[in-house]
Structure 1
Amino acid sequence: MATLNEAAKVAMRDVMGLREGEEVLIITNFEGEVFPIAKAIFEETKALGGKPVIMVQEMKTTYTYAERLVRKAIEAEPDIYVSLSAHKLGKDPYGLNIGYVGRDGKKYQHIIDKVMDGDRRVRGFWSPTTNVAMFERCVAVDYQAMQELAARLKKVLDAGKEVHVTSPAGTDVTFSIDGRKAMLDDGNYTAPGSGGNLPAGETFISPVVGSTKGTIVFDGTIDLVPKAMIPKQPVRLTFKDGYVDKITGGEEATELLNVIMKGEQMAREKGMAEQEKNCRHLGELGIGINYAAKMTGNLLEDEKLGKTVHFAIGSNYDYDAEATIHQDCLVMNPDMWVDGKQIMKNGELLSNF
């Protein structure tokens, strides 16, 4: 296993493709274990000839705002942006209430989305809730193999129209992906506008809005606020008319419902009816492909775990279902079909997909 500084060097040299003289903005907190990682990123960036700056803000959650000076630093368009947050970077009040328009003509709710996705001037990675052991274990991996597998999955999903997922715990859900394009979190963030998590390791896609039918049972890590946990009792979500209708299970089911309801309340207070509705929307299907990852109860790592898929409740990545929340939750050992062709069995990707 790599040391922390070795992993940081891989991150900046191989994943980000850092070039001499490039400006690197590192945003972090003192809480949790993220600051030592930020320091290692700073040191390795400097050793590679980059120009790093660290900004520290107090810990933010799904419901709180990033500091104004942090948002202004992102707006200054560093070459590379790194977010090492103990929980979240924080929301953007201007983006939520008014919105940024990117060079692509689309509207964005956060300055980082505008400069990365809309303007394609900044590249970066973000590692919310990461820790030293995770960074050392999961960052210095075989990115060529990961990228080849991610590209194969993207090809299948891009051509697909409908996905069907089942699992031993009781998942049986279908949804449309017609016209959608899959995205890659595969550790290749070298081009302006590119970025993703570290640890990397998933191919993901946004289901067509309102197309979800059936039941999803989360028996792996679920994303709560401000924590994630492996549920003692599986959490069952039933969809009606394309949106979450019922959530049943143990205490974690109640907590997940509370997160959704708080997101709905936050949207309602701002008069955002569509965002309130989308707090019960299925925003993402992700397929984990980082085989160095372990199930730890930390969603950043767990959602990259091989032999799993995860679904997000809330906003999507196509920006046509904005919501105040995005809660990723895992399904263990799933079977998956795309347009009737099986590509995964008991969590294993089939060799001929």
Structure 2
Amino acid sequence: MFKGALKIVRECANLRAGENVLIVTDPERYSSALMVAAAARAIGVEPVIASMSPNQLDGQEPHPLVAQLMTSGKVDVLFMMVTRSIGHSRAAIEAVRKGARSLSMTKFEEEQFYRGGLLADFEAQKPQCDAMASKLTQARVARLTSRAGTDITFNLEGRNGNSHSGIVREPGDVTALVHIEANISPVEGVSEGRIVVDGSIPNFDIGVIHQPIELIVEKGNVVSISGGPQAERLRKILARNEGEGIYNIAQLAVGLNPECVAFNGQFSNEHGVYGSCHIGIGTSETIGGSVRADLHFDVMLQAPTLTLDGVDVVKNGEVLV
């Protein structure tokens, strides 16, 4: 575990002596946070740990006092090791705007320090992640299909792709561990089609999908959800929390971590499964969109085909970039 924590602070966060480190956590992730704190101390940095109760849903704001610390302008490196993601919060946006290097580590489990995605060579994978983000930036139209029945189109014109390579080097850099993903926020109100979720939904404790969930998208919003018990759980959770933007198609992403080989229920593993794609729903302003919602969640697809302006960049789960 400690070896993995050292890799996180040295290679991923590029932590340097004299920097201010804030670790935001909660009781469920506190032991993992302590391990990262110990690694920071081992290289001469004394971190501050701020613990709060987990939020109800992914994408909500942290506790106000924690938000004050995050947005103080004095944080060089921000670790968000929480049970419910705060990476899409306005506090996280402001921390980055004020120069923090940000690493989201939602639901990071102790075994992930020594097994799975953290074993990746992040430096070696960065060029591919950067290249995929560049392809997304250059594209005007994306089409995502799958053998399971997904067929949805997105307008990407004027939007910039984001490379979340697992490495942050400069003030304002953002990533998530152990993802390795390239993503983009499509133009709002335009996406149209059908999403068949056959991989995972790491949010809302839904996990690996046992019976495909069908989402119908019209004018950039999910308008219907159908399938088995997991679909019904998703539908009920969203119905209880309805608010502006929660059905917005917020994100298109490609998983690029070769050490994430299959969906297993772990939050960060699911985002990084190599050759998978996922669609984010809800808040988009953290990744280049304009929608602020009370939540953000992701739906993962197995072995999809992603076509940008008529050219395949992922073909049945094979990455072609």
Cα offset, 1:54, TM superposition: 1.5
Task: Supply the AA of the counterpart residue of 2:52.
Answer: Q
Cα offset, 1:65, TM superposition: 5.2
**Equivalent position SS for 2:216:** strand
Task: Supply the AA of the counterpart residue of 2:56.
Answer: T
Return the match for 2:140 from 123, 138, 161. Answer: 161
Where does the alignment leave 5 or more consecutive residues of structure 1 unmatched?
92-108, 268-275
Is the radius of gyration larger for structure 1 or structure 2? 1
Aligned equivalents of 1:337, 1:65: Cα separation in 2: 34
2:256 is aligned to 289
**Equivalent position SS for 1:156:** helix
Aligned equivalents of 1:58, 1:327: Cα separation in 2: 20
Aligned partners of 2:187 and 2:289 also within 8 Å: no
1:270 is aligned to none
Q: Does 1:115 align with 2:95?
A: yes
**Equivalent position SS for 1:303:** helix
Q: Which runs of 4+ in 1 moved over 3 A?
A: 88-91
1:251 is aligned to 229
1:179 is aligned to 158
Aligned equivalents of 1:214, 1:221: Cα separation in 2: 19
Cα offset, 1:35, TM superposition: 1.9
Return the match for 1:322 from 266, 286, 292. Answer: 292
**Equivalent position SS for 1:51:** coil
Aligned partners of 1:290 and 1:306 also within 8 Å: yes
Aligned equivalents of 1:28, 1:322: Cα separation in 2: 23
Cα offset, 1:251, TM superposition: 1.2
Aligned partners of 2:250 and 2:279 also within 8 Å: yes
Calculate the aligned-residue CA RMSD, in Å.
1.8
1:150 is aligned to 129
Aligned equivalents of 2:140, 2:61: Cα separation in 1: 37
Cα offset, 1:312, TM superposition: 1.1
**Equivalent position SS for 1:210:** coil
Aligned partners of 1:7 and 1:136 also within 8 Å: yes
Aligned partners of 2:107 and 2:266 also within 8 Å: yes
**Equivalent position SS for 2:272:** coil
Percent of aligned pairs sharing the same letter: 26
Q: Which structure carries more relative contact order (alpha carbon 8 Å, separation 6+)?
A: 2
Task: Supply the AA of the counterpart residue of 1:7.
Answer: G
Q: Does 1:55 align with 2:50?
A: yes
Return the match for 1:83 from 75, 80, 84. Answer: 80
**Equivalent position SS for 2:49:** strand
Task: Supply the AA of the counterpart residue of 1:305.
Answer: V
Aligned equivalents of 1:67, 1:176: Cα separation in 2: 35
TM-score by length of 1: 0.84
Change (3 A) 1:303 1:90: closer
1:240 is aligned to 218
Task: Supply the AA of the counterpart residue of 1:9.
Answer: L
Task: Supply the AA of the counterpart residue of 1:326.
Answer: H
